[in-house]
Structure 1
Amino acid sequence: HCQDSENAMQSLVCSADPSSSRLKQFLDDNAKNPYLKGVRQVLHNPEILPGHCRTSEFVKGVRELGRRGLLFDICIRPAELPDVVELCRQVPETTFILDHCGNPDPYIVNGERQPTPSSADSDFGHTREDWLAALQMLGRFENVICKISGIIARAEEGWSVTTLAPTVNACLDAFGEDRVIFGGDWPVCTLGASLSQWISVLREIIADRSQTAQEKLFHLNAGRLYRLD
């Protein structure tokens, strides 16, 4: 599909487990594929236990991605962000994309909802302070990029720009204008709004930032990171 000049898709990031024994063979088979830019794994699936990204085989696989010039998209439970901090510290040669702002609850981030003991123990449970602290630590790593995405899917009926702005601004401030990229997260975004609504509210949130910063978020940074011609 990427070869089709009429297709807007220019490259791909495939789903794969860095700890898999089949990873090296897959990478070898696609070593000359100019469209493959990286690997992504969703680590918040119920069958994947917390701490998986700290295993030696996982770390080895992520290091191999960097050696081959491939990015690693990591999508993880917010409570496990400290594990991502340690992973990024161990593998500075690999560029990481932190998906969905680290998967926070935007209502906890903006203070409208307080985490309860039961929610803190759930798969996506977290406190505002813990998420923000981990986010800021990740923002200090030059090899980590934050994808501004996902949070619109958690927006509930009656949401507004103030629902999402604190999360977006915290990410932009932690990573700076050169290490953030926009993600549509379609069709999952439609759990909370249409793709056009997500783009519109994000434009409203960043309206007071420079034109250059806005262009970097929406397309310039992605073009550089994914080496799009």
Structure 2
Amino acid sequence: MESIFDTHLHLVDRSRISYPWIRDAGTLDRDWSHAEYAAEASACGITRALHMEVDAAEDMIGAEVDFIESLPPRKDVPIVGIISACRPEHDGFAAEIERAQARPSVVGFRRVLHVVPDALSQTARFRQNIRRLGPAGLPFDICMLARQLPLAMELVDAAPETRFVLDHCGVPDIAGGQFDSWARDISALAKRPNLSAKVSGIPSYAAKDWTAEDMRRWIEHVVAAFGFDRVVWGSDWFVCTQGGGLTKWVETCRTVLAGVSPAERVALFSGNAEKIWRVGGG
């Protein structure tokens, strides 16, 4: 069983960081610790993780990085890098990049784009700042809804030297069976060589009693479109606890990918992530 590099781990400590959205998130509104995650993740074969920003209050973006850096190191599932929140819509983005480059733990950026007006990613300032990430060597995670995938294409095209990763398979409406338009846009996105896709998060968009077979065509389409050299894996823990949990998601991905070659599984589960975020092997 190949080891897994989790590229999408969220941790929460409400005593240190303010997360405005979490107060309305039902059972997700609690602290989520590295120890709790690692206990289950290590049993699933996960051996490393990247911490993904949790949409903290804007004035606490740096504090969130401080929080993750301050965690006691773990040998079972160490956090080997941080994807920090950012604000490319601001004039001061060049300084954000400089601060990130001064912190070896920060390996990438994300700005959640489904909670802001669609026009934000279309502004000249936003796109100019995203173009700065290419020379800086900082990949940008795109978190958009399925209906916004044409906007994702425009953003990727506007910054051809920047490396992008599409989160959560482009957030398909699995429960609603909205496959065709999503699949068309995924195939179009995959034509952009500077974009990779993250097989993550989709249990949250499926019916509560979903099975591995329910997930198969969605996962297989993303992999077929992007190829095994441009896909990575993510748990979306703790959010995945609302969609069946971490263990079920890992087992589902292993089941769906059972027929591919060992080299292809290694590429998806760890190898590609090491290249994108320039994190050494585990």
TM-score range, shorter chain: 0.7 to 0.9
Give CA deviations for 1:28-54 in whole Å, capped at 9, x if unaligned.
223232221111011111xx1123211
Aligned to 2:190: 139
Aligned to 2:265: 214
Give CA deviations for 1:105-157 in whole Å, capped at 9, x if unaligned.
1234xxxx4xxxxxxxxxxxxx4222111111111111101000110122323
- Deviation, structure 1 residue 2: 5.1
2:234 corresponds to 1:149: no
Aligned to 2:214: 163
- Report the residue type matching 2:127 in the other structure: V
Which one of 175, 180, 183 corresponds to residue 234 of structure 2? 183
Aligned to 2:244: 193
- Say whether the 8 Å CA contact 1:51–1:80 is kept in structure 2: no
- Say whether the 8 Å CA contact 1:100–1:151 is kept in structure 2: yes
- Deviation, structure 1 residue 227: 0.8
| 2: CA distance, partners of 1:164 / 1:61 | 36
For structure 2, the 5+ residue unaligned runs are 1-67
With 97-106 and 29-38 compared, the bigger mean Cα shift is at 29-38
Equivalent residue runs for 1:1-229 within 5 Å = 5-6=73-74, 8-45=78-115, 48-108=116-176, 113=177, 127-229=178-280
Specify the SS of the correspondent of 1:10.
Answer: strand
Count of aligned residue pairs for this structure pair: 210
Specify the SS of the correspondent of 1:60.
Answer: helix
- Say whether the 8 Å CA contact 2:100–2:106 is kept in structure 1: yes
- Report the residue type matching 1:31 in the other structure: Q
Aligned-CA RMSD value: 1.6
| 2: CA distance, partners of 1:157 / 1:54 | 35
- Say whether the 8 Å CA contact 2:208–2:244 is kept in structure 1: no
| 1: CA distance, partners of 2:207 / 2:148 | 24
- Say whether the 8 Å CA contact 1:104–1:131 is kept in structure 2: yes
- Deviation, structure 1 residue 5: 5.0
- Report the residue type matching 1:92 in the other structure: P
Give CA deviations for 1:67-124 in whole Å, capped at 9, x if unaligned.
211100010121111111122112110000000000001234xxxx4xxxxxxxxxxx
Q: TM-score, normalised by structure 2?
A: 0.71
Q: Larger relative CO (CA 8 A, sep 6+): 1 or 2?
A: 2
Specify the SS of the correspondent of 2:84.
Answer: strand
| 1: CA distance, partners of 2:253 / 2:208 | 17
- Deviation, structure 1 residue 58: 1.0
* Percent identity between the two aligned chains: 31
Give CA deviations for 1:175-199 in whole Å, capped at 9, x if unaligned.
0001000010000011111101100
| 1: CA distance, partners of 2:73 / 2:179 | 44
| 2: CA distance, partners of 1:173 / 1:195 | 24
For structure 1, the 5+ residue unaligned runs are 114-126
- Report the residue type matching 2:126 in the other structure: F
With 190-199 and 152-161 compared, the bigger mean Cα shift is at 152-161
